[in-house]
Amino acid sequence: MTPASYSWRRWVEPWYLTYALQGAVIAGLLPILLPLAASHAGNAAGIGLVMAGLSLGGLTAPLWGSLADRYRLHRWLLVGGLLITTAGLVVFSFTQHPAAWIGLALLIGFGAAGAATVANLFVVEVHPKSEWDERIGWLQTFYGLGQVGGLLLAGVLSQTGLRTGLLVVAGTSGLAALLGWLTTKTPSIPLEQKPVLLHPPRHGEWAISSPQRLFHHLDLTAIKKLGPAMRSPFGLLLGVWLIAIAGSAAFFSQYPLLMQNVFGIPPGVSSAAFAVVAGLGLVLYSPAGNWSESIGPVRVLRISLGIRWLAYIGLLALGFSHLGFQDRLALLGFGFVVCAWSLISISGTTLAAQLSPVGEGEGLGIFNATYALAGVIGAALGGLAAGLWGYNFVAALAVAGVAIGLVLSLLLPAAHSQVKK
């Protein structure tokens, strides 16, 4: 065995494959196939509500985290959450009622959040602290590669029957549950105090919060301290995050339909393009950490929001143009939207820990709950805008949201902090 192969095998465990499959399902397949399936018998507003229901799962992290900590249910939450997701997808594929779709999307989101909430606990409650960074880094790599693979598979499945596609997704989630049952066991020794893990999600989060984002969640202690937190620069950061992420969530909740209806790009092509730029975005996380450390996370956040804002403006303008090659320009603009997320994720998470007046862990919990809430609001508003004015106005919503977030970010105090890369 070569030293290089020994190095990565030392940090990787078989259960990481479970989260690679979950990344494929939650971050890759569902953001493409679920809105396409809902579009066959529902209007754009209904599609937005379906995607909002899926995003709502991130707000249930306190429930799952409490169950894991109090009753030692890590393995059951992982496997049970994946099976709930599987069951919801199977029923969704045979249901034709939009109201039922919203409820099933909620169920799928709850299951996904339950499975994701315990991901980091399988690391921090089993291995020494000196190994956490490497192991969590590899876990994120598996989840991110799963997302890329899921997006590529979504491009293929979008060309087949969508019922078949959703059943394949359900089968993938079921396979993840089987692997999870065979490769994990609940840690025997609980944490005396949950450590602060400053590990920004290193992959796109469009449907539901990342496993890294669900480790720190909003609890009763943090809720009691919300008042003073909201009156500080941290409260301003939450405003930036809520509005800017909600604008982007509106766009991503309608992504395959928007690209098809506005730019004439079929879902197979838009899914493949998404996979390519998501893969490119993975290599930007380490430089983003270096930049955040050298010039400060506030500046990196402003720059990345500016890049995303300009990209959304370009997409909006293209939507109203009649250029013969607007499809290629649209994919290029979307590439900048996705790649900017690498910088936004690193700088935003770093600032949340740095500016929090209530402690890093509690601050990250409030920050992550804000992300989940932004996803719910953005998806609902995106569907409403598409239904009332057309899909191109979803891009207008994204432009407005990111613009407001960018303006508010100019009021944040500049500071430097160390970033875990």
**pLDDT over threshold 60, residue 417:** no
More confident residue, 362 or 6: 362
Residue 346 pLDDT: 94
Rounded distance between C-alpha atoms, residue 205 and residue 410, angstroms: 25
Terminal Cα distance for the chain, rounded: 27
SS3 322: coil
> Hey, CA dihedral for 352, 357, 360, 361, is it positive or negative?
negative
Q: Could you tell me the pTM of the whole model?
A: 0.93
Give 146's pLDDT tier (boundaries 50, 70, 90): very high
Residue 6 pLDDT: 56
More confident residue, 43 or 176: 176
Q: Does the structural domain 9-409 have CATH classification 3.40.449.10?
A: no
Domain ranges, ordered by start, for the chain: 9-409
Concatenated DSSP letters of 57-101: GGGGHHHHHHHHHHH--HHHHHHHHHHHHHHHHHHHHT---HHHH
SS3 259: helix
242 to 34, 41, 162, 247, 326: CA distances (angstroms): 24, 31, 32, 9, 31
User: Average pLDDT in the 261-287 region?
Assistant: 94
Give 420's pLDDT tier (boundaries 50, 70, 90): very low
SS3 53: helix
More confident residue, 169 or 70: 169
Residue 415 pLDDT: 58
**pLDDT over threshold 70, residue 250:** yes
Residue 421 pLDDT: 43
